[in-house]
A and B are shown apart, each in its own frame.
Chain A
């Protein structure tokens, strides 16, 4: 890492010294028709809903690397506080690091105020941080939780805007999931009905969107506590093989057999005595 200001002490945070080199590298790569590796995105369906007793968050579990499935069972529902959880879509690393930082900040804040954290605190810190980096941190998040003021659900976009709604979906499968919500959502639903609704919404995302797949994860947050169902539903099972592709020994008949001995002559012979003193 180059030190462009040798007189001043090094500072922490982002270092932009390689951006020019990267721009030149990408230019020369694109001349040859190749492209630089892209950051791994999650290609996700995440959804959240407010029901009678609290909040339910749901997510699929596939992480994609352009057109290849990179992880078949990743966790997209992250812990922020004992009563607040957050689903992350967009660039996987950005979502992960952002939620970890938010979790630490919220813990420090609640230690300093002496009160349990509010969902609105997390949303405000998130949107201020994402706006500061002008969308270069590519993570869209759904924050949900139950605090002293009640159950809340917020969605935060990569550039820093946010929405407060009773049901929300984000990610590449958002359109498929929100169509299920728009059709069947009612306010003050019971737990079973709400759980089915979120499961169906995520399943719609899994089947209708190429970037989402594998299992459905659910996280139910109420005043009483949190239940995290990892792998709540597996709508896509691996199919059974119908036939056998192995051949029994003796399947192929031997027609003829010819043996040719190879003549070998000794060309050179040298003897080395080993020193075994």
Chain B
């Protein structure tokens, strides 16, 4: 739950990240796993809420930081961002799911239940990721 009033928020732009092209092995469309491809699929979101939901946590953080900056000065968001970065580095090995407990506590998500806790629980997902690809992505080879 956020308690910011309207006065303490600066105007911030919503980042529009593109929906990444689905390249499989050998940089060719992996039709078996991800379906047929079309330019429209990759450029436009399929649902009105898709982009706003993808960037929701990012936008919340941005709003909180800009509010903090307005109220307490520049040092407050800087210190908090350092703590976020430190908490984000406490992860398991690349393929294993991490609970992100420290990050959740910093953000205040440990005291609330939203749809991300109820729907699509990652620990019960039907698809397994590809361990090699995930390790390479994490270590920066890809």
Contact = CB atoms under 8 A, between A and B. Distances in A.
Interface of A: 1-17, 19-20, 23, 97, 101, 104-105, 108-109, 112, 121, 124-125, 128-129, 132-134, 136
Interface stretch (B8-16, B75-83, B125-133): B125-133
Interface string B36-48: 0000010001111
The A interface is mostly helix, strand or loop, or mixed, namely loop
A124 B2 CA distance: 9
Interface residues of B, number: 42
Given A101-B113, A108-B112, A10 B127 contact: yes
B114 interface: yes
Interface in B97-142: 97-98, 111-122, 125-127, 129-130, 133-134, 136-137, 142
B61 interface: no
A37 B98 CA distance: 38
A158 to B, nearest CB: 14
Given A2-B33, A9-B134, A13-B116, A108 B129 contact: no
Nearest to A102: B113
Given A2-B35, A4-B34, A6-B134, A11 B120 contact: yes
A125 B19 CA distance: 30
A6 B122 contact: no
B117 to A, nearest CB: 6
Nearest to B128: A3
Contacts of A133: 49
B41 A14 contact: no
7 contacts: A2-B35, A7-B136, A7-B137, A7-B142, A13-B119, A15-B120, A105-B112
A20 B41 contact: yes
Contact of A10 (B114, B125, B136): B125
